Amino acid sequence: MGHIRDYDYSLLEEVIFLKEEETNQIINFKDLFQNGNPILVEIGCGNGHFIIDKALKNTDKNFIGIDIKQDRLVRCREKETKNSLKNLKWICGDAFFVIRDLFEDNSIDTIYMTFPDPWPKRRHHKNRLFKKEFVDVFYTKLIQNGLFIFVTDHKEYFDKSFDVIKNDKRFIVNANDIDDEFSISLFGYKWRSENRDFNIFILKKST
């Protein structure tokens, strides 16, 4: 019988929760972090390996991890508190609405979308986050020359997502320019070691 993990849900007291029934939830992240450093966001932060590593190496930047699952955010908070990070915050909620409702326009330096759920069955494709409506949302939230970085090992999801933005004149599009920096997440470590292929595109807001 497998080990049943106990979660310390008191760690969620420092997590920001999206209140879906409320409007005008914009957060002043300069006040929250008590500085005006650049803001970098990871969508689907999983166990927190990628974003915590980034926060440790870039103390002059502010990081925000978004996930919809509370158990994952408890694990993230456990790692964060062990490292006493002051430049890292967490938000629980659907990433589409978190980005749309909590962030000011032209406020995010970089968004990382690392190994999102591909929802591989056709009947579930409607649940995929990366679609035109989401592109329109994060375009307004990125600063000029801000980046959106998408990484997946699911080729069909990559191709469908790339089709959405390949002719979007609002961005400079760079596809499959792989850098090891973007393979640091929990899945990235695992799939690199198994020699799995994965794909990346980087969008730079240009207009």
165: its two tokens:
């933005």
Q: Is 117 a catalytic residue?
A: yes
Name the catalytic one among 53, 94, 109, 117: 117
50: its two tokens:
């990628």
Round to whole Å and give the CA distance between 58 and 37.
11
Give per-residue burial for 65-96: e unless 16+ CB within 10 Å, then b: bbbbeeebbbbbbebbeeeebebbbbbbbebb
Q: Which residue, 167, 99, 175, is CA-closest to 139?
A: 99
82: its two tokens:
């062990």
Whether 204 and 139 have beta carbons less than 8 Å apart is answered as no
Round to whole Å and give the CA distance between 39 and 206.
18
Q: List active site positions.
A: 117
